[in-house]
Structure 1
Amino acid sequence: MLLSSCEDDFLEKEPYASVPIGSAITTTEEMQAAMNGVYASLRTFETFGRNIPVLGDLLADNTFIAPTNSGRYLNQNNFTLTASSAEPTEMWNNLYETILRANTVINAELPNADADVVNQLTGEAYAVRALAYHELVKFFATPYTVDPSAPGVPIVTVYEQNAEPARSSVQQVYEQIIADYAKAYDLMEAGAAEDASYMSKYAARALQARTYLFMGDYENAKAAALDVVTNSGYKLVTAANYVSYWKNPTPVSNMDETIFEVSIDAIDNNGSNALANIYDQGGYGDILATTDLYNTYTEGDVRLGVILVGERGNVKPAYIVNKYSNRTNPSDKDDIKVIRYSEVLLILAEAYARTGEEDKALEILNMLVVERGVAPYTSTGEQLIQDILVERRKELAFEGHRYWTLSRLNMPIARTDQQPASARLIPVDDPRRIQPIPQGEIDANPNVVQNDGY
């Protein structure tokens, strides 16, 4: 993770260790341990370990809860959340814990330590803090492209035990996110991460491109994504290796596809709450892909290799998600892909298309789809943008992105499938498209106001 010029002992990380929250960090070893604790906080099933990737598809039109189920995510499936629902509360609390841990690293003062090591670790902490804030403002606030002046989430950058911060505006939260990614990018050196389970310079830049896309700032999204494509050294996983890429249970270190992932292994994993368990028919197997999504793929598309056709109760055929196939792996589990190179290409293609550079948009889009076994596109204008969005849906399915595409573009959610309980049209002004602020937070902090409709 650290710079190649650093001493070897700094590269030998004690896994998942962390200093106690609130304790002073006095050495680079303690700073490293604290940063390991930051990464560990991302693994929980309440956030990236399951809820975030699941809900980004389930709240949209990519997946639904089968009639035979374990009772999980029914409120999300039916859009019947309340301020006391478990998942929003768990997500809010865990993401703010991640921010607390990141702040501990960011605010550490080590004037006599190796500056390269301190800069690298501080940069990683800035990037993770930005990632956590982006998830919070996505789930709990109005999309930036709809109303940047709407209430966002509280911004906390220093530890104050008795603080009662109010909700900053959506715009202020996005400004904080962009600034954090910029600091991360400036502090970290290229090539510093030993594998994709650690934040790197170009992971921060890729995530910043995503943030600009969510803001509708296509010029800056284009610049950030192009920087990654031109300078980072990442590359697409090939068609021949696509399915095996998803079966790989260990962090990627060859710069194929994965830019940043949350590491899950035999020691630190979510057990029965693992992401694979909610899809695997040998586990809970509650969540199936919709027929509508399945029908967007064409014959020869290698991405069909991670969707199985089977049965689930009276659902026949049932389209079973197999992107996470390591439920029973005795030594490792599925890492959670937070951002991949293919997403960066899709960001760049969309940004080109929306800023009048259609030839470049087509070039980037076809770079991806040809590797996935899809015929090259020749479209222009609005059809080109729609084609990019369709490929975005297909490429990033079951990774938690579809809902946010519909949200940032202020589009209704048309959920049609063979299960009447899941089929409905969710308009753009439905208040339950935004998660409720947890009731416990409202009760504890009089300066936090609830979202409309709860």
Structure 2
Amino acid sequence: MKKKFILILVGMSMFFSCDQLLDIEPEYTQDAENFFNTPEDFNRALTGAYDLMQASYLIQWIGEIASDNAIAGGESVNDSRGLHEIETMTHGGVNSELRDLMRFNYAGIARTNYIFENKDKINFDGKDQILAEASFLRAYYYFVLVSFFGDVPLVVDKRLSISEIPNTDRAPKAQVYEQIEKDLQVAMETLPWTNPTIGRITKGAAMALMGKVLLYQGKFPEAATILGDLITNNQAGYGLFNDYSRLFFVANENINEDVFTIQYTGLEGGGYGCLVCLEGNAAVGFNGIRQYNGPLYGDGNSYNLPTQDLYDAFADNDPRRAATLLDIDAFIAAQPNADDITYAIGGGGHTGYYNNKYIKRLDERGLPDDDLTSPLNYRVIRYADVLLMAAEAFQRTGNDGRARTELNKVRARVNMPSITSSGPQLLEDILTERRLELSGEGYRFFDLVRTGKAAQEIQGFVVGKHELFPIPQVEIDLAGGKWRQNPGY
């Protein structure tokens, strides 16, 4: 998704991730005074704003590892120590992964704000759509931040200088959500249902994210309205892909099930020094089988390993279990050359299972180092998620019949029997279905938190503390100590 762009961001430390986030060519020759003078400048700036979504690997890791779905894994407990601390609920304000997540998303916000700061410089056909896409991107980045950290500094339509940071406090999350909804409303009203450029945001993506934002806030009637409208009108032709077992293969990307997807390519190499600079999906290689030598799969780093608890949650006849979790020993035993297949167990933990949705396959590798260059897209919102969110919203507003209808569409796709329950049991069935359908995709932790189930499902979870992650201490220090830390940290 990354293209050459010329863009100077902000002087704010947390808005930067590494030097490679900027692609200034030639150096020091363009700034706001001689940029945004052509439609192409706006398009290049928008491409730069899309680019920070490459950090999706952090959401996919943390959303699973913080829950009952996965352990951190890896070479040792000191290999990405921050993930191991999140797994055991011992994380604090010094955590590399959480700091990266905050910085990368604020870098994305800074890039959208830079566009809005200059939005009146010229007029041209298509500018409204560029601004609407930028509105969506800003909403998405803020939604990630508010989901992880709660109250966060709210910066809109401008960049901050270093001197302004100590005077910029954390905004209440209700205020941040208000801005998110405002931006998504612009996107919904302006964007078309389809876009010839693959990966660009559409009206359906904006509606789906708005539904999720409303659901996360407990605004169930509003969520039911938006999601119901998306399902009923559906001018983009969204649907459920017929073969769940192959849904997460590169060959089946950008299909009717993809509502909001982050695009990746395997045609550009990269290094470990800046994972957000990659054009490939870093999660895929990191989730792979350590030192594996055998058919179908490539070797990887054994991160984000599914748990026995997740495996046991599936019925034996549910095809989503095999599509979601690779039982490595059972897979090897079923091969004709089983004695020739080898793999290694990392010191960071081993469950016997691997994330079979986002995993390196031999015929899907990118350029060297192919641990870092997977072309497998990250599906932020699938149509199945839209149906399940709608089912929950309808049930919570008393419409059990419509809730069952949307829930059973998801189950029918994998030939599982229809759910016939009502009331509180129906809600439980919907939430269970979310785990079965969406496990491995990075949203289990947030589902547990927002439904009040985290303490009973996550070992070590402390009520009143672990609903949010800590603000990185270095960012508090950069703000002159003015930002208060989240409770309990």
**Alpha-carbon separation, structure 1, partners of 2:252 and 2:419:** 34
**Alpha-carbon separation, structure 1, partners of 2:461 and 2:113:** 37
**Is contact 1:26-1:110 (8 Å) kept?**
no
* CA displacement, residues 105-128 of structure 1 (integer Å, 9 cap, x when unaligned): 23333565333x111111111001
Q: What's the counterpart of residue 154 of structure 1?
A: 153
**Is contact 1:219-1:355 (8 Å) kept?**
yes
**Alpha-carbon separation, structure 1, partners of 2:64 and 2:109:** 25
**Is contact 2:88-2:460 (8 Å) kept?**
no
Instruction: Verify: 1:291 aligned to 2:308, yes or no.
Output: yes
Instruction: Verify: 1:450 aligned to 2:482, yes or no.
Output: no
**Is contact 1:411-1:428 (8 Å) kept?**
no
Of 392, 396, 403, the residue aligned with 2:445 is: 403
Instruction: Verify: 1:57 aligned to 2:52, yes or no.
Output: no
Instruction: Verify: 1:100 aligned to 2:104, yes or no.
Output: no
Q: What's the counterpart of residue 174 of structure 2?
A: 171
Mapping 1:59-208, distance limit 5 Å: 59-66=66-73, 69=76, 71-72=79-80, 73-110=83-120, 113-115=123-125, 117-141=126-150, 152-157=151-156, 158-161=158-161, 162-164=163-165, 165-192=168-195, 194-195=197-198, 197-208=199-210
**Alpha-carbon separation, structure 2, partners of 1:300 and 1:234:** 30
Q: What's the counterpart of residue 9 of structure 1?
A: none
* CA displacement, residues 204-240 of structure 1 (integer Å, 9 cap, x when unaligned): 1110000000010001101111122122334333333
Of 238, 245, 259, the residue aligned with 2:247 is: 245
**Structure 2 residue matching 1:239: 3-state secondary structure:** coil
Q: What's the counterpart of residue 219 of structure 1?
A: 221
Q: Give the drift of 1:83.
A: 1.4
**Is contact 2:46-2:134 (8 Å) kept?**
yes
Residue type matched to 2:154 in 1? I
**Greater mean alpha carbon deviation, residues 160-169 or residues 320-329:** 320-329
Q: What's the counterpart of residue 275 of structure 1?
A: 283
**Alpha-carbon separation, structure 2, partners of 1:249 and 1:409:** 35
Q: What's the counterpart of residue 230 of structure 1?
A: 232
**Is contact 1:350-1:361 (8 Å) kept?**
yes
Residue type matched to 1:93 in 2? R
Q: Give the drift of 1:257.
A: 0.8
**Greater mean alpha carbon deviation, residues 166-175 or residues 21-30:** 21-30
Of 381, 390, 393, the residue aligned with 2:423 is: 381
Q: Give the drift of 1:277.
A: 2.1
Of 334, 353, 363, the residue aligned with 2:405 is: 363
**Is contact 2:241-2:247 (8 Å) kept?**
no
**Alpha-carbon separation, structure 2, partners of 1:82 and 1:188:** 40
**Structure 2 residue matching 1:449: 3-state secondary structure:** coil
User: Between Structure 1 and Structure 2, how many residues are aligned?
Assistant: 415
**Structure 1 residue matching 2:313: 3-state secondary structure:** coil
Q: What's the counterpart of residue 145 of structure 1?
A: none
**Is contact 1:190-1:200 (8 Å) kept?**
yes
* CA displacement, residues 172-199 of structure 1 (integer Å, 9 cap, x when unaligned): 111111111001112222323532x211
* CA displacement, residues 79-123 of structure 1 (integer Å, 9 cap, x when unaligned): 2222121111111111100000011223333565333x1111111
| CA distance 1:39–1:263, change in 2 (3 Å) | same
- Structure 1 gap ranges (5+): 1-12, 142-151, 417-423
Q: What's the counterpart of residue 461 of structure 2?
A: 426
Of 438, 446, 454, the residue aligned with 2:472 is: 438
**Structure 2 residue matching 1:124: 3-state secondary structure:** helix
TM-score normalized by the length of structure 2: 0.79
| CA distance 1:18–1:378, change in 2 (3 Å) | farther
**Structure 1 residue matching 2:353: 3-state secondary structure:** strand
Residue type matched to 2:287 in 1? Y
Q: Give the drift of 1:346.
A: 0.7
**Alpha-carbon separation, structure 2, partners of 1:224 and 1:269:** 40
| CA distance 1:432–1:14, change in 2 (3 Å) | closer
Residue type matched to 2:319 in 1? V
**Structure 1 residue matching 2:430: 3-state secondary structure:** helix
**Alpha-carbon separation, structure 1, partners of 2:252 and 2:394:** 34
* CA displacement, residues 51-87 of structure 1 (integer Å, 9 cap, x when unaligned): 1111111111111134864622111112222212111
- Structure 2 gap ranges (5+): 10-30, 276-281, 290-298, 330-343, 368-373
Q: What's the counterpart of residue 39 of structure 1?
A: 50
| CA distance 1:317–1:239, change in 2 (3 Å) | farther
Q: What's the counterpart of residue 342 of structure 1?
A: 384
* CA displacement, residues 245-283 of structure 1 (integer Å, 9 cap, x when unaligned): 31116851x4x1111111111245766661012221021
**Alpha-carbon separation, structure 1, partners of 2:46 and 2:394:** 36
**Alpha-carbon separation, structure 2, partners of 1:14 and 1:53:** 20
Residue type matched to 1:122 in 2? L
| CA distance 1:330–1:112, change in 2 (3 Å) | closer
**Is contact 2:193-2:204 (8 Å) kept?**
yes
**Alpha-carbon separation, structure 2, partners of 1:307 and 1:153:** 35
**Alpha-carbon separation, structure 1, partners of 2:351 and 2:476:** 44
**Alpha-carbon separation, structure 1, partners of 2:378 and 2:310:** 21
Q: Give the drift of 1:317.
A: 6.5
